[in-house]
Amino acid sequence: MERQELIYHYSCAHSDLVRWLRSIVRVFIVPLRRKNSKVWLPGVPKEVTRLFDWLEDILNLHSNIADVHVAATGPWHSGDIVKDFSRAIRCFVPRFEVYQPYLVRVDSTRRVLADCVSTQDEFGEFLRLREAHPDCGGHSLGNLLLEPVEHLYGCVDTFKVSSRISRGCGRC
């Protein structure tokens, strides 16, 4: 039952993360690109464009995981949820390497964004206007960019194998 509760809380947190990431892409990233392309408009700092590209990779990973969650949580009532969820999610573990460049650069890029917001240039004005968007929930873009990091650390805590389990129960 404890594992089922963890899976339930993880699934809820994961759905929230995907929703937040989609909002960030819709509110901040799409308007900064040329229409129907991956080409950035002039004036967007290179550090920011790279982090946004990595953020989209993270969104794609978590969107794929969300699709698997739906299928894996189907057998909830049959009691096979733990086994089915574990099997379905295991294949995504190697794909979490997509976080590496993001984790390395997120703090420095947040500082660049904070500097941009405090200036009077077009990009700083864009950020100030977009941060007032209802989808941002009153958060700055810099704080929103920490959502995937916090989710990742939450995953580590959630799926940590206790020493009792990893050593065996003593009956095995």
Range(s) of the domain holding residue 131: 2-158
| C-alpha closest to that of 49 among 37, 60, 63 | 37
* pLDDT (tens digit per residue) in 75-114: 555 556 666 677 777 778 788 899 999 999 999 999 999 9
The answer, yes or no, to whether residue 164 has pLDDT greater than 60, is no
Q: Considering its fold, how many domains does the chain have in total?
A: 1
The whole-model pTM stands at 0.78
25 exposure class (CB count in 10 Å sphere: 0-12, 13-18, 19+) = middle
Average pLDDT for the chain: 82
Task: Say which residue, 55 or 2, is predicted with more confidence.
Answer: 55
Q: pLDDT band for position 172 (50/70/90)?
A: very low
Task: Say which residue, 72 or 55, is predicted with more confidence.
Answer: 55
User: What per-residue string of b and e applies to 103-124 under the rule 16 or more CB within 10 Å gives b?
Assistant: eebbeebbebbeebbeeeeebb
> Looking at the domain assignment, is residue 167 inside a domain?
no
CATH number of the domain that residue 7 is part of: 1.20.900.10
The answer, yes or no, to whether residue 4 has pLDDT greater than 90, is no
> Looking at the domain assignment, is residue 172 inside a domain?
no
